[in-house]
Structure formats: C-alpha cells, structure tokens
Chain A
Amino acid sequence: MELADRAVGFLLSIISLSIFTYYTLWVVILPFVDSDHFIHKYFLPQDYAILIPVFAGVVLLCLLSVFIGFVMLKSKKKKA
C-alpha cells in the first residue's frame, strides 16, 4: 500500500520531468539545430509545440468546469 503510493509519486515525478525535458529540447534547443539534422526526425513540426499544450489545457479546463458544475448541481439538489 505504502510502497504503491510512493511508486505513483515516483511515476508522476518521472512523467513531469520527461515532459519538461522533451518540451525544452523541442522549443528551446531545436531551433538552433540545422533543419536537416537527423534529430528533427524525433520531433513533430514546431506548430504542434503550441497546438498540443493549448489543446491539453482546454481539455483540462473543460474537465475541471464539468466537474465543478456537476458537484454544484449535486449539492444544490441535496439542499432542495
């Protein structure tokens, strides 16, 4: 139980660190590398560097507002 919780924490940290590293490479380092370099094969075009986070952010916001709306509706029903 204890160990599983710690493993989840470890996993979260790893995910966050790898996203950060990947994104840094993509956005900060890559523009300085020649466009015919082989490393470009591993990254999508720059446009996606903006599209994916925006998309993810919108999805997260939607989920959050749906959650909040759902909870508020439920609590209102309880009161009535």
Chain B
Amino acid sequence: MEKEKNKYSIIVPTYNERLNIALLVYLIFKHLKDVDFEIIVVDDGSPDGTQEVVKQLQKLYGEDRILLRARPRKLGLGTAYIHGLKHASGNFVVIMDADLSHHPKYLPSFIRKQIETGANIVTGTRYVRGGGVHGWNLMRKLTSRGANVLAQTLLWPGVSDLTGSFRLYQRSVLEDVINSCVSKGYVFQMEMIVRASRKGCHIAEVPITFVDRVYGSSKLGGSEIVEYLKGLAYLLVTT
C-alpha cells in the first residue's frame, strides 16, 4: 500500500561509464519491478560517449524513467547530487555509484528497510554480517579499518559505515543536509551522514557488498588519507 505512493529517484553521477551505466540501468530495472522510480544520470561531459548510450537507453526504457541531466565538465560529486536533486520528482532519493560496485539487487532491501522502520535515511554498510567487500588488499583493509576506528572514536556518528555512498534518503532530508555540506570526494559522504545524524535524523542500515571488479583498483593514496584527516578535523569543529 505504502509502496504505491512512494517514488524513488535514483541519482547516478557518471564520468566515462558508457558500459557500466547500461549494465546498471538494466540491473535496476530487473530488480525494481513493481516500484515507481526514475533514474537520473548526471554526466559530467564524459568524452567516451556515455551520454549517447544513455540516450539509447532512454529510447528503450522511456524518457520519463531515465533522465539525462548532463553538465559540461567535471564539476565534482557533491554538486552532481545537488544538480540531480533539482530534477528529481520522487519523494525518496537513492544515491549510488555507476561502476557496479553498488549492486542494484540491494535496492529492494533499502526500500523495505525504509518502510519497516520509517527511517529518514537508509545507508548501506559493508562492515556487518551479510555485507562485505571483495577485491581489497591488506593495505586497503587496514586503512579503511583505521579510518573507521578514528571516526567512530572522535565523532560518535552512530553509523557503522561512514564513507559508503550507497544510500536512500528522504528527499526533504537530503535537500536539507546537502546544502550545508562543503567537502569533496568521499569525505562528502561522511559529512552528509554525520550532519544528518546531528540533526537527529533516524538512520537505518542495511548490509551491502562492495565488489571491486578489477582487483585492487580502488586505491587509497597519501592524498586521500590527508583529505580524510582534514575532513575529520573539519567535522570535529563544525558539527
């Protein structure tokens, strides 16, 4: 009953994802059969023809189901969500990556969890039973663990996976939170969830898996670590 009323806008920022976006769209349609949703692709002017593929997909699935909202050049992840949000017509917004590290098969569990708990935000977590990662080497695991312990000790966010970016937001909550966020990259994800939690949002978690298709492709360099530390310090004094 509840299900009929809700509409889900899935915002997918892309850059050079011509193959992945097609696969992703197919998988979303496969796993969300009886749900009202739209996919908003925010493409940052990919030179590889991502937009052509999306246009082909629009012909196949309908222009009201897949929206292409391109931007002229790479403008960053945070603003991509703001841009997509402007065009979203659903009362819920899902944010996910285009590279298939977030599998659409978890979308139904996000939606179910939201309906069950009435949460403002449902966030995917990789660090609980039923979730997990694949394709991470020891260094990647170590840094991710260390970062997590650091954030949990300093920020007490009440969420187990701060930097994951597979999330379902109540539209009003997202609009409220996103405008107060200034960070970039995946610190942005952390800032969003911490700010939301400070605002007293009800945050629920569902396990997700995170698969690096090319083993060890998600690298964490020194600059990411420094950015993360800066982000932590910033959140420590502003939230």
Contacts and interface: CB of A to CB of B under 8 A. Distances in A.
Interface of A: 4-5, 8, 67-68, 70-72, 74-75
Interface in B215-233: 222-223, 225-226, 229
B141 interface: yes
B237 interface: no
Interface of A is mostly: helix
A42 B146 CA distance: 33
19 contacts: A4-B138, A5-B138, A5-B141, A8-B138, A8-B142, A67-B222, A67-B226, A68-B226, A68-B229, A70-B222, A71-B222, A71-B223, A71-B225, A71-B226, A72-B226, A74-B222, A74-B223, A75-B223, A75-B226
Interface in B184-237: 222-223, 225-226, 229
Interface of B is mostly: helix
A5 B142 CA distance: 9
B122 to A, nearest CB: 29
Interface of B: 138, 141-142, 222-223, 225-226, 229
Nearest to A67: B222
What are the nearest 10 A-B pairs in CB distance?
A: A71-B222, A71-B226, A5-B138, A75-B223, A71-B223, A68-B226, A5-B141, A8-B138, A72-B226, A67-B222
A68 B141 CA distance: 20
A75 B225 CA distance: 12
Nearest to B215: A1
A5 B139 CA distance: 9
